[in-house]
Chain A
Amino acid sequence: DIQMTQSPSPLSASVGDRVTITCRASQSISNYLNWYQQKPGKAPKLLIYAASSLQSGVPSRFSGSGSGTDFTLTISSLQPEDFASYYCQQSYSIPPTFGPGTKVDIK
């Protein structure tokens, strides 16, 4: 199985900050990498697919990059509604595996 790791966790930030979350795969997954946001008590929500494509309806302050084994999710200017947990997930092979998550909380 492909192992996914994320850093940092947790991440403390302020409204307006530029935030970057890193995800690393245990082997090359090309650009088969998705990002999800989860708020407490809610189901996850797809933000980014194929490493850098923004899901419909997701604000443009979210962006993704990377290929191979190293990926990043960037929030250009953190908003109050962005305080949540973020998970990466590889869709390169079965089983689909998730990173352990990065909780973004208020500094």
Chain B
Amino acid sequence: QVQLVESGGGVVQPRRSLRLSCAASGFTFSSSGIYWVRQAPGKGLEWVALISFDGSSKDYADSVKGRFTISRDNSKNTVSLQMNSLTPEDTAVYYCVRDGNFYDTSGYMHGAFDMWGQGTMVIVSS
């Protein structure tokens, strides 16, 4: 079954840490860039972090830079997001997302988020 499954969400106090995991199956995980995208309650979508297919390249949204760390283990088909120094503003559903490669009619490659996990809720509250 082709899917991404997140885990690790929950309720955590401010300034504490949480680690999210994403397990992939049914596709060639080691060929895919993976993103974390979050959605605060009633709000829009916000990119959080990305990791390249081989883990050599990582990037973070300014809002989480220095606090969050993304990593992957291609031998286990998993991606993790270590979240430290959490604040109430980090409260959201966190989605693990595959960056699919597509080609337009001119032959140029495009990235698009073609596979999403079901999401895991993180609530930061005292």
Point out residues on A near B: beta carbons under 8 Å: 31-32, 34, 36, 43-46, 49-51, 53, 55, 87, 89, 91, 94-101
Contact = CB atoms under 8 A, between A and B. Distances in A.
Nearest to A56: B114
A50 B47 CA distance: 19
B117 interface: yes
A43 B104 contact: no
Interface residues of B, number: 24
A87 B104 contact: no
B113 interface: yes
A95 B110 CA distance: 14
A49 B45 contact: no
Interface in B66-124: 95, 100, 102-105, 108, 110-114, 116-119
A86 to B, nearest CB: 11
A43 B44 contact: no
A91 to B, nearest CB: 5
Majority secondary structure, B binding face: strand
B50 interface: yes
A91 B111 contact: yes
A43 B96 CA distance: 10
Nearest to A35: B112
Contact of B114 (A46, A51, A87, A96): A46
Contacts of A34: 110, 112-113
B59 interface: yes
